[in-house]
Amino acid sequence: MSDYARNVTIDVDSGDVMVDGQPFPWFYSGAQPAIIEGENGEPLPGLTVTIACSDLTVISPNKALL
């Protein structure tokens, strides 16, 4: 079974995101709440974020896309 965050809190006024009581450590944008499907098809609350990075590599079978 995958490990899930126990709690995610989004402070809309300050823009802070806390994961299990700890500040989210990277610059991000577009924090959007969502309902995702768990391993057994159960609905789970989730969060979609865009994480800023200085380099991005995407691996696809047999080739690197970026």
Q: How far is CA 12 from CA 1, 18, 60, in A?
A: 31, 12, 35
Q: What is the pLDDT at residue 53?
A: 87
62, pLDDT greater than 80: no
Taking only the tens place, the pLDDT of each residue in 34-55 is: 898 888 899 999 888 888 889 8
Average pLDDT for the chain = 84
